[in-house]
Amino acid sequence: MSRQAPRAFIFDMDGTIVDNMAFHTKSWVAFFERRGHAIDADDFFRATAGRQGHEIMRTYLGAGLTTEDTVLLDAEKEELYRELYAPHLETVAGFDQFIETAQEQDVRLAVATAAPPANIVFTLDGLDLRRHFDAVVGAADVARGKPNPDVFLLAAERCGVAPEHCIVFEDAPLGVEAARRAGMRAVVLTTTLPAEAFAEFDNVIRIARDFTELDIDALFETTNNIQQAQ
């Protein structure tokens, strides 16, 4: 009997492990209002979810911002976010049981996020989750945010799993596109956007409200069937 190739689940963090994107958007809106910019929350999320802070800063405040400028501004915005979200910090329904079952089935686990180090500490250590993951990749590890595939490819590499054997969990179109470019299938959680927002993606194998609706064997079976048909 042939040995099964290593498999991995790669989780976006914000909006996927924790249902927090509304708080991120509120903090961005407040941040830009301080600087005289009126931001439409829905349009902003759709355009920026998954992008790194320095990319967003330069889009809205000017390409001429120095690295030092963006570091200081990003720290200010993320402090706003953590103040808003701290009282609500918890995992999406079913997540803890889902990753426990995945580990029992020898599925490797990774986080691939556009979040800066302080937010990764805030979420993963605040919820005592870091110990469950074989790899954690964030904004400090890659130069480009989503929809570039860098963060997912690095997570797969650190897990020792080929991209075609990874399933990404995402809540944003830019993240699903990054997974597509990485050659990975995606599961979408509708914590932030409705299912219709992902209709154009051919790499989405499942759309669910939360992790209680997901079956690990079924996800990998779907992926295997697609690969065999190609």
Same domain, 14 and 108: yes
**By the 8 A CB rule, do 184 and 33 touch?**
no
Q: What is the pLDDT of residue 103?
A: 97
Mean pLDDT of the chain: 93
Amino acid at 220: F
The whole-angstrom separation of Cα 106 and Cα 122 is 27
**By the 8 A CB rule, do 158 and 4 touch?**
no
Q: Which domain holds residue 55?
A: 21-86
Average pLDDT over residues 61-72: 90
Summarised one tens digit per residue, pLDDT across range 105-156 is 999 999 999 998 999 999 999 999 999 999 999 999 999 999 999 999 999 9
CA 6 to chain centre: 21
Q: What is the pLDDT of residue 230?
A: 66
The reply to whether 227 falls in a domain is no
70-77, long-range: CB < 8 A, 24+ apart: 73/31, 74/116, 75/118, 76/31, 77/27, 77/28, 77/31, 77/53
* Cβ burial, residue 119 (10 Å; 0-12/13-18/19+): buried
Q: What is the pLDDT of residue 225?
A: 75
Average pLDDT over residues 86-109: 98
Same domain, 44 and 148: no
Q: Which residues are catalytic?
A: 12
CATH of the domain at 132: 3.40.50.1000
Q: What is the pLDDT of residue 2?
A: 47
